[in-house]
Amino acid sequence: MTHVLLPPDLRHAAERAKGFMPPNEGAALFDTACAYGALGPICEIGTYCGKSAIYLGAAARETGSVVFTVDHHRGSEEIQPGWAHHDPTLMDPRFGKMDSLPFFRAAIASAGLEDNVIAIVGRSETVARYWRTPLAMLFIDGGHSEDPVTKDYEGWAPHLMPGGALVFHDIYPDPSTGGQAPYRVFQRAVASGDYKEVSTEGSLRVLERVAADA
């Protein structure tokens, strides 16, 4: 496969956006989405302000795919007021809640990716319950504590097509470097035997779903 480069304007748009995706992991996310995007749609759990969605959307544009990105936009437990990664500029005083949706919209519009990245606003587990379309790539980066990351895996991974990519973010095997819930769910996916390990970049882990008869 010829190696597609992330267009510089989109790389800059991604680096400008608020979020939690270092450039090297964003580039790996883009490469993965380029490798799988032609098979079908890409789904992201955990949009926040659209940073990772720009990397995915850039690859969707290259491969003729589309990105659905799911978030209630009210913030995970670990980014609420009082937590280290809380951004007070995201508070909506009308409701006393966080709202990352306007930041997402601005980021995707300024990247020129509105045709490639589609926001689904709601709870991941509710959307998963009604989802029916097989996915070429699933990127799990929503709530990072035990309950949400488990529900994201259980609700969404069954929709991955054979040969599709299951990608986790924030995988920290060493407990001193980060939370363990995503790592435990990642290990569970590996232990299921349904996936083979494809690549690693920073805290990003790429698995590929093996065909049922493989």
Distance CA 31, CA 24 (A): 11
Residues in the chain: 214
Binding to Mg ion in span 115-144, by CB under 5 A: 141
Q: Does 209 bind Mg ion (CB under 5 A)?
A: no
Nearer to Mg ion, 47 or 65 (CB): 47
CB-CB neighbours of 93 under 10 Å: 6
- Residue closer to ligand SAH (CB basis): 103 or 195: 103
Give the Å distances, CA to CA, from 192 to 112, 186, 187, 188, 209. Answer: 39, 10, 9, 6, 11
| Size, binding site for Mg ion by CB under 5 A | 4
Closer by beta carbon to ligand SAH, 162 or else 202: 202
From the list Mg ion, ligand SAH, none, pick the one residue 71 interacts with, judged by a Cβ distance below 5 to 8 Å according to partner type: ligand SAH
Q: Which of 3, 73, 85, 144 is catalytic?
A: 144
Query: What is the contact surface with ligand SAH in residues (CB under 6 A)?
Result: 19-21, 46, 48, 51-52, 70-76, 100, 123-124, 141-143, 148
Is residue 144 part of the annotated active site? The answer reads yes
The listed partner (Mg ion, ligand SAH, none) that binds 124, CB under 5 to 8 Å by sort, is ligand SAH
Q: Which residue has the tokens 């969404």?
A: 156
Of positions 11, 61, 73, 169, contacts Mg ion by CB under 5 A: 169
Q: Which of Mg ion, ligand SAH, none does 170 bind, CB closer than 5 to 8 A by kind?
A: Mg ion
Measure the N-to-C terminal CA separation of the chain; round to a whole number of Å: 23
Q: Which does 116 bind (CB under 5 to 8 A by kind): Mg ion, ligand SAH, none?
A: none
Closest alpha carbon to 104 in 150, 185, 48: 48
Which DSSP category does 124 fall into? H
Cα 122 to Cα 172: distance, rounded to the nearest angstrom: 27
> CB-based contacts of 160: which residues, under 8 Å, 6+ apart?
134, 135, 137, 138, 166, 209
Task: Report if residue 20 touches Mg ion, rule: CB under 5 A.
Answer: yes
Q: Which residues contact 156 (CB under 8 A, 6 or more apart)?
A: 43, 45, 124, 128, 131, 135, 138, 140
Cβ 176 to ligand SAH shortest distance, Å: 22
Q: Is 170 in the site for Mg ion (CB under 5 A)?
A: yes
Q: Catalytic positions, please?
A: 144
Binding site for Mg ion (CB under 5 A): 20, 141, 169-170
